[in-house]
Amino acid sequence: MHVDRPRLKLRHHRNPSLSTPTKGSVQYRGDVNETVSAVSSHLGESDDFVVRSFHVAGRHCAFLFYDSICDRDVVDKSIRSLLHYHYPKRMHMAFESYILDRVLTGVNLNLASDLHEILRPLTNGDLVILIERVSNVIVIPARSVEHRTPEQPTVEVTTRGSQISFVENYQTNVGLIRANLACANLSVKEYKLGERSRRTVAMVYLSDVANPSLVRRLQEKISRVNTDVVVGSATVEQSLSEHPWSPFPMSRVTQRIDAVTREVVQGKVVLIVDGDPCVLLYPVTIQDFFQTSEDYMRSTWEATLIRGLRVIALLLSLYLPAMYVAFVDFNPELLPKVLGMQIAQSREGVPFSAFVEVVLMQIVVEILREATLRMPRQLGQTISIVGGLVVGEATVQAGLVSNILIIVVSLTAISFFVIPSYEFTNLLRIGSWITLLASAVFGFYGVLLVSLWFLYEVVSLRSFGTPYLAPMDGEYIRDLFVDGLIRYPLKLLQKRAEHNKPVDDKGAES
């Protein structure tokens, strides 16, 4: 386990906004006991809230902090600095200035003069110092939260490339990105979201590559987020979504550092939420959900073949159950004669229609999938084996479903996992049910109508100004064939994708 330590600086930094009085504010006037009582009344009765009092150069001093999230090393070091310093009998400057310039010199300091201004940093884990007859309160960043070290990704597993994923601490995540992009133009902007949680959200991008319009729109959307608590990246993702009713994911979620590094170089913006190992990438297109960082670590032919397999898996997972119902229940005459006879023979004795068959088995598959995700890892594989072999074989032997339907449902379930994005897989699960219901009512016409609705929805979506269908919308043909359906050799991929509208689109060619 690692512990976050505040970064020390040689010079203290005063934040002017913290010392500006606000309307209706309660100003600190140098009375330590009165201020401690006021802060305690605002924070309520918490056993981890600590007040340590002592005297410094004949003045009453108090340290206020939360023992559960404040770094005790910073507290102890600050106390030693104040108590062990040899103060002169006569000072040629104000006592406050002397403390800041001579005593607490190795810490990044903020000053506050209002009671409400010290409550935020106090609840955030900072150390608050009150000194008698000093007009300002000293705030020292001292937040200390334990977090795990970077490990292998749990969702996006690859056979080649980096095996390190992001963690829950946003500063560690920003450091991992900087370690991969050691350039001066990597910009990091931090925001505090949530009226109560005050969760830190970091926006990371290359200032000389990312489109300024994209950065500005994201900043405006983030500044307008109004929520009580930010639980994780999902809260930020849904708050920033420009199409909240659309079933399509409007951001790419990833845990992989190599994927983020490549996307940032292409001109995208990353949002890192403190406390969540999943980061958000903007803007997003439908093509992004079919590409992985591993594609660029393999040969051109292999990467192109795998992308083609993902497209086939998309069609199978979305349409295979619906087409089975449409053929069997509505138009069996369209099937080849031998195949039609085999399906009819396998369904002999089955008491349900093809639609009811598919619904029953799809529900079983969904239950097994959720059970596998929620069960402990040691039992997950056992559940899969029991569900796949025992339940499937038992239903066929009981005559409830046909053999061919087991093949259809199994192939559909496996096709879901070929798609590298878990968020897009969930969309396909929903879409599969929609096409299945449409085929049960209208047959092939229902499948066609739902397909047209899917196409209309995709064409109408935009992710912060970027068409969701790009580069397949016809405007950026080069991106579609150079690094879309086909992945050209890396030597020909130096130029950045045009549909991201980067400022510097030449890449290494410039």
Q: How far apart are CA 89 and CA 57, in angstroms?
A: 9
pLDDT grade, residue 389 (50/70/90)? low
Is 45 a residue whose pLDDT tops 60?
A: yes
**DSSP secondary-structure letter at 256?**
B
Which of 15-24, 417-426, 479-488 is most confident? 417-426
CB atoms within 10 A of CB 133: 12
Is 48 a residue whose pLDDT tops 80?
A: yes
Share of the chain above pLDDT 70, in %: 90
The domain locations on the chain are: 2-140, 148-284, 297-466, 470-509
Strand, helix or coil for residue 64: strand
Is 293 a residue whose pLDDT tops 70?
A: yes
The answer to whether the bond into 249 is cis (omega within 30° of 0) is no
Q: Which two tokens stand for residue 154?
A: 């749990």
Q: What is the pLDDT of residue 379?
A: 61
pLDDT grade, residue 31 (50/70/90)? confident
Q: What is the pLDDT of residue 444?
A: 93
| Kind plus residue range of the DSSP H or E element containing 89 | none
How far apart, in Å, are the Cα atoms of 179 and each of 6, 115, 183? 19, 39, 9
Mean pLDDT of 393-407: 81
pLDDT grade, residue 3 (50/70/90)? very low
Backbone angles phi, psi at 311, to 5 degrees: -65, -40
Backbone angles phi, psi at 256, to 5 degrees: -90, 135
Is 201 a residue whose pLDDT tops 90?
A: yes
Report DSSP letters for 449-509, one per residue: HHHHHHHHHHHH-EETTEETTTTTTSS-HHHHHHBTSSB--GGG--SPPGGG--S---GGG
Q: What is the pLDDT of residue 224?
A: 92
Give the pLDDT confidence of 180-195 residue by residue, as tens digits.
Answer: 998 889 999 999 999 8
Give the pLDDT confidence of 84-102 residue by residue, as tens digits.
Answer: 888 887 877 878 888 888 8
Report DSSP letters for 193-242, one per residue: E-TTT-EEEEEEEETTTS-HHHHHHHHHHHHT---S---SHHHHHHHH-S
Q: How far apart are CA 393 and CA 190, in angstroms?
A: 55
How far apart, in Å, are the Cα atoms of 259 and each of 30, 51, 268, 347, 460? 52, 46, 11, 47, 27
**DSSP secondary-structure letter at 350?**
-
Edge-to-edge strand ranges of the sheet holding 199-206: 186-193, 199-206, 269-273, 279-282, 252-254
Indicate the average pLDDT of the chain. 85
Report DSSP letters for 353-420, one per residue: -HHHHHHHHHHHHHHHHHHHHHS-HHHHHHHHHIIIIIIHHHHHHTTSS-HHHHHHHHHHHHHHTTSS
Q: What is the pLDDT of residue 383?
A: 64
Give the pLDDT confidence of 313-344 residue by residue, as tens digits.
Answer: 999 999 999 999 999 999 888 888 898 899 88
Give the pLDDT confidence of 144-198 residue by residue, as tens digits.
Answer: 877 777 777 877 888 887 888 899 888 899 999 998 998 889 999 999 999 888 8
Which of 124-128, 406-410, 430-434, 493-497 is most confident? 430-434
pLDDT grade, residue 18 (50/70/90)? very low
More confident residue, 422 or 8: 422
Mean pLDDT of 112-134: 86
Burial classification of residue 55, based on how many CB atoms lie within 10 Å of its CB (0-12 exposed, 13-18 middle, 19 or more buried): exposed
CB 128 within 8 A of CB 64: yes
Q: What is the pLDDT of residue 21?
A: 38
More confident residue, 12 or 59: 59
Give the pLDDT confidence of 246-285 residue by residue, as tens digits.
Answer: 999 999 999 999 999 999 999 999 999 999 999 999 999 9
Q: What is the pLDDT of residue 308?
A: 93
pLDDT grade, residue 6 (50/70/90)? very low
Count of alpha carbons within 13 angstroms of residue 380, beta-carbon side? 8
Residues facing residue 165 across a β-bridge: 256
Share of the chain above pLDDT 90, in %: 40
Q: What is the pLDDT of residue 25?
A: 57
Q: What is the pLDDT of residue 38?
A: 86
